[in-house]
């Protein structure tokens, strides 16, 4: 691990990237015996949660931000059942031709991510990554694939993992030659 490399992660209450809560976050019951109370009745001012990478240089983001010239991190929070309230970060590389979006799993929904990407002034040239359609109904997959191409003006797409097989087929049909399957080791020319 290179400890000098910053890693941008979503700020979250509980998570694998380390987080913390104020010691006052949970209700107290002073009538309980001391051995049944959290922290023996004396919680710290800040309750820190661990991470498997304690030496990592995590930068927690609670909102979208530009982290370097032309490099933006889009912060969205899922309103989708099953991933409700899950924060997620999407990378937006801004080039002279438009944006390249690199998504993880798109739990908040690709349209929510695109809404935060300022697509009116910076068109989307590429979307890479998972779209989280693996359990979506075919009608919704068709609607979203059509919307990506027409409403959102996405020029090219390279979906991966959690997009699901019906999603791969539908996107390939809608995007034709502007579709690339993003499997492990796939190389794409921009």
Outline where DSSP puts E strands in 13-84: 19-22, 46-49, 57-61, 65-68, 71-77
Q: CA-CA distance, 42 to 68, in Å (whole number)? A: 42
pLDDT of residue 172: 97
110 in Cβ contact with 131 (< 8 Å): yes
16's CB contacts (< 8 A; 6+ apart) are 51, 52
**Global pTM exceeds 0.85:** no
Domains identified in the chain and CATH numbers:
6-58 (no CATH), 63-178 (3.60.15.10)
SS3 category, 59: strand
pLDDT along the chain (190 residues), means of 10: 84 76 82 88 84 85 95 93 86 95 94 94 95 94 98 96 94 97 82
């Amino acid at each position: 691990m290179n400890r000098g490399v910053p890693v941008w992660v979503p700020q979250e209450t509980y998570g694998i990237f380390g987080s913390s809560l104020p010691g006052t976050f949970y209700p107290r019951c002073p009538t309980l015996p001391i051995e049944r109370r959290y922290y023996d009745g004396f919680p710290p001012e800040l309750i820190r949660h661990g991470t498997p990478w304690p030496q990592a240089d995590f930068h927690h983001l609670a909102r979208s931000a530009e982290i370097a010239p032309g490099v933006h991190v889009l912060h969205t929070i899922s309103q989708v059942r099953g991933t409700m309230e899950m924060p997620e970060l999407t990378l937006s590389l801004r080039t002279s031709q438009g944006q390249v979006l690199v998504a993880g799993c798109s739990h908040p929904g690709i349209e929510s991510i695109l809404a935060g990407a300022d697509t009116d002034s910076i068109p989307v040239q590429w979307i890479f990554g998972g779209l989280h359609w693996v359990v979506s109904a075919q009608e919704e997959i068709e609607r979203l694939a059509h919307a990506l191409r027409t409403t959102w003006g996405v020029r090219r797409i390279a979906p991966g993992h959690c997009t699901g097989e019906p999603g791969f087929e539908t996107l390939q049909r809608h995007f034709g030659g502007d579709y690339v399957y993003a499997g492990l080791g796939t190389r794409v020319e921009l």
